[in-house]
Amino acid sequence: MLAKSSVSRRGGVARGSRSNRRNAWRTAAACLSAVALVSVTACGSSGSATSSGPAAAGSGQEANVDAAKAALARYTVPPTTFPVTEALAQKLPAGKKFVYLQCATPVCALVGTFVQQAVKGLGATLTVVNAGATAQTAQAAASSVSALKPDAVILGAIDPALFGGGLKKLSDSGTKVVSLQIAKDVKPYGITFNYLGADLSQRNGKLLADWVIAKKGAKTETVIYTLPALDISAPVQKAFQNEMKTNCPSCKVRVVPVDVSTIGTTAPRTVVTDLQAHPDTKAAVFVSLSAAGGLPAALKAAGLSVTTVGFGPTAGNLQDIKDGALTAALNIDFPVSTWTAVDATARLLGGGQPTAGEQAGEVPEQFLEQKDITFDPTHGWSAFPDYAQQFAKLWQVS
């Protein structure tokens, strides 16, 4: 029987409003990430599993566990530094109009909840416009937004190419366009500022690899379950493989794609079938831990045990970790990251620039294991429960 930090054959099936935030966490579904905040592209999720065997043969070092632990150190304890400390130069003038372009995934709706709270905190107004998931719906949305003549537009994890020239038209008219976690050069699309770009995904891929190395050591056979339809998937996968090759040449890594549309339905069966075909697998890594929803019960039914870790857990994933049915999650402070994007937008509207930390993509993150889930998982996780009050002070509205 494995330790509590792993899924056990004997482990039980995972157990199963005061505010908008609580309701949002309860209804948040698959497809996170991070501020979770991911962008669905037109690429498919087909393709067979690929494998990268032991690298750097003859290097004489099977696994650099010390280096992995050093890289993880700041992410295994609660963050203590609030990401924004500089007050606005002046309070945002009344009457500013924000628009949130919302994509079709549940996580975009969750982002919209936090955007709404933050914009209200600024004393501005918000209109939510559904951009859908196709070029046709996105361009129609951009056209309707243009008619609203907003001061700022926040783009919720949508490939800007879907909008054609719509975002550029908004920007040229003087609207500040701010995007969240777009993994490409945003300048050609007229986006003023992109918060949490590809660097975050690359960092997370590296951290997930170091976590596996630190926990499992040399000669570990690992699988990473990717979601090719998500923009974050490719950079996380690449960074994960590179770090495993660098710090654990004796480790084996294979890559298995999961269709994003199967999250919450048949994704656990995909994982179980793969693990049954590869019984030596010691660690299962998820580009988005949302793909592990329902997995503990499927593993128990199949009599399988494996260490699990992934980025961007849902409330259900957090409950599974608390119950000892999943091992760990690399979690972004979702509400704080969303409010930080609104803060950057307010600075642009005031004639300034996003803070150095915002431009660098700083955001609170932490690996959460069973011992760390001392909060109600249905509320989600934030390292700074008083984030609204802290931003209110910075925005001179407290």
For residue 10, the model assigns a pLDDT of: 35
Single-letter amino acid code for the residue at 36: A
C-beta of residue 289 within 8 angstroms of C-beta of residue 227 = no
Architecture of domain 97-197+335-362+382-394: 3-Layer(aba) Sandwich (3.40)
Q: What is the pTM of this model?
A: 0.77
Instruction: For residue 177, list its beta bridge partners.
Output: 153
**260 vs 42, 51, 229, CA distance in Å?**
12, 21, 6
The full DSSP string for 172-238 is HTT-EEEEES--S--GGGT-SEEES-HHHHHHHHHHHHHHHHHHH-TT-EEEEEE-TTBTTHHHHHH
Among 119, 198, 114, which residue's Cα sits nearest to residue 156? 114
Cα of first residue to Cα of last residue in the chain, in angstroms, is 53
C-beta of residue 199 within 8 angstroms of C-beta of residue 183 = no
- Please name the residue ranges forming H helices in the chain: 20-27, 65-72, 106-122, 135-148, 166-172, 198-216, 233-247, 267-277, 295-302, 315-322, 334-349, 356-359, 387-394
Among 242, 250, 249, which residue's Cα sits nearest to residue 219? 250
Backbone phi, then psi, for 224, in 5-degree steps?
-115, 120
CB-neighbour burial class of residue 69 (10 A; exposed 0-12, middle 13-18, buried 19+): middle
270/260 Cα distance (integer angstroms):
12
- What number of residues does the chain have? 398
Q: Using the structure block, give the residue that is written with the tokens 């011992």.
A: 371
Average pLDDT per consecutive 10 residues, the chain (398 residues; last block may be shorter): 37 40 43 37 40 43 93 96 94 96 74 92 96 89 96 88 95 96 88 92 96 97 91 90 97 95 92 98 95 96 98 91 98 93 97 96 96 92 94 91
The reply to whether 20-24+42-78+200-333 and 97-197+335-362+382-394 are identical in fold is yes
C-beta of residue 91 within 8 angstroms of C-beta of residue 396 = yes
95/111 Cα distance (integer angstroms):
22
Among 81, 344, 21, which residue's Cα sits nearest to residue 191? 344
Q: Domain extents for the chain?
A: 20-24+42-78+200-333, 97-197+335-362+382-394
Instruction: For residue 330, list its beta bridge partners.
Output: 311, 367
Q: What homologous superfamily does CATH list for 20-24+42-78+200-333?
A: Response regulator (3.40.50.2300)
- Structure-token pair, residue 38: 């991911």
C-alpha 366: how far from chain center: 12
C-alpha 138: how far from chain center: 22
CA angle, 286 as apex, 283 and 288 as ends, to 5°? 160
Instruction: Map residue 21 onto helix, strand or coil.
Output: helix
Question: What does the DSSP 8-state code read for residue 127?
Answer: E
315/377 Cα distance (integer angstroms):
5
C-beta of residue 42 within 8 angstroms of C-beta of residue 297 = no
